[in-house]
Amino acid sequence: MYSRRMSTPDRLIESTRELLWERGYVGTSPKAILEHAGAGQGSMYHHFRGKPGLALAAIRRTAEEMRATAEGVLGSPGSPYERIEAYLRRERDVLRGCPIGRLTMDPDVIASDELRAPVDETLEWLRRRLAAIVEEGREQGQFAPTLDGEEIAATILATVQGGYVLARASGSPAAFDAGVRGLLALLAPTR
């Protein structure tokens, strides 16, 4: 599946990322990881502290990628509303869900302080980043002065994560798209 030019640790991490997104922590067995990565039986234990260490490396890489993708949109030129709109409308695999958000539903990830930390840190970073943009828009007079940046940021995150859930439940991205349109209508700049 992966190029042999990719190092064994990278193949293991990438395989684990895919399998965690697809199956969750419990459903991601060491055997499945090794098969998916095309790696030998001892590879995981040679490079990582077993499945928990490999899962942590995979979750961290997924978190870093999610932050970079979000920052690429949120840090782009445009008004605060335009940047939030671009974030909400960016291309996503809606029916697969969020690779970080889905981990919050995994009891083994949530039960482990170590595995949960990069999930929580990433969602907290995104909430703070969105709150700052909302505050910027409020200060510029683009948003109503009564809007609270922290609350709106939480609403944006809830819309995105809830939209994934509704889309997966219905088998259609329409519910996600409707949530985005509704939130954007509520945030529409004041004139």
Neighbours of 69 (CB within 10 A): 14
Q: Is residue 49 part of a domain?
A: no
Of residues 78, 74, 71, the one with CA closest to residue 140: 78
* Residue 159, token pair as written in the block: 């819309």
Please say whether the beta carbons of 180 and 163 come within 8 A.
yes
* Domain contains 27: no
Whether the Cβ atoms of residue 173 and residue 70 lie closer than 8 Å to each other: no
Alpha carbons 134 and 176: distance in angstroms, whole number? 21
Secondary structure element (H or E) that encloses residue 61, with its range:
helix 50-74
Q: Does residue 36 form part of some domain?
A: no
**pTM for the model:** 0.90
Per-residue pLDDT reduced to its tens digit, 25-81 = 988 988 899 888 888 878 777 888 888 999 999 999 999 999 999 999 999 999 999
Q: 70 in a domain, yes or no?
A: yes
In a domain, 38, yes or no: no
54 lies in some domain: no
90 inside domain: yes
- Domain of residue 163, residue span: 59-187
pLDDT per position as a tens digit, 102-160: 999 999 999 999 999 999 999 999 999 999 999 999 999 999 999 999 999 999 999 99
**Residue 66 and residue 76: Cα distance in Å, rounded?**
16
Q: Record the tokens describing residue 26, joined without a space.
A: 């419990």
In the prediction, which pLDDT does 58 show? 95
What confidence score (pLDDT) does residue 170 get?
A: 96
- Cα distance between residue 164 and residue 124, in whole Å: 18
128 located within any domain: yes
Q: How far apart are the first and last CA of the chain?
A: 53
CATH number of the domain bearing residue 110:
1.10.357.10
Please count the structural domains in the chain: 1
